[in-house]
Amino acid sequence: MIEPGLYHLLFISTALFFIGVYGFFTRRNLVTMLMSVELILNSVNLNFIAFNKYLWPDRLDGVFFTIFIIAIAAAEAAVAIAIIINLYRSHRSIDVENTEGMKF
């Protein structure tokens, strides 16, 4: 095993991103699709932190981008879950195949 560095972290974040993409493609349930989106956002955060640590240690920009992404992800999850629960009330299902009638 070699000493971990930037490339190891980039591999982890890339793998996590494409695991999230796979989940987003295969899942048909809105809550599990939301989980895949969270995985994708986390991989982006890891990327920012790795670049900040190894390439630009004199700046803190990666840290700020990560903090803002976490805040936006929290807002996004809250709004998405409000929509999902509202959808469940009207359709009794949160499967994307059954929700073609979302047009107003």
Partner 1 sequence: MSGSTIIFYLLAALTLVSAVLAVTTRMIFRAAIYLLFSLIGIAGIYFWLQYEFIAAVQIVVYVGGIVVLIIFSIFLTQQAGEKLPKQKPGRQLFSALAAFCGLALVMLQLAQHIFVSTGKTAIEPTVTNIGNQMLGVDDNGYALPFEVVSILLLAALIGCIVIALKTKPNGIMNKEQGISNNEGSGF
Q: In the window 67-86, what residues touch partner 1 (CB under 8 A)? A: 67-68, 70-79, 81-86
Q: Per rule CB under 8 A, is residue 102 in the interface with partner 1?
A: no
Between the two ends of the chain, the Cα-to-Cα distance in Å is 57
Q: What is the DSSP letter of 55?
A: T
At closest approach, how far in Å is the CB of 2 from partner 1? Answer: 8
Q: Per rule CB under 8 A, is residue 44 in the interface with partner 1?
A: no
At closest approach, how far in Å is the CB of 13 from partner 1? Answer: 9
What is the CB neighbour count within 10 angstroms for residue 33? 19
Q: Is 88 helix (H, G, I), strand (E, B) or coil?
A: helix
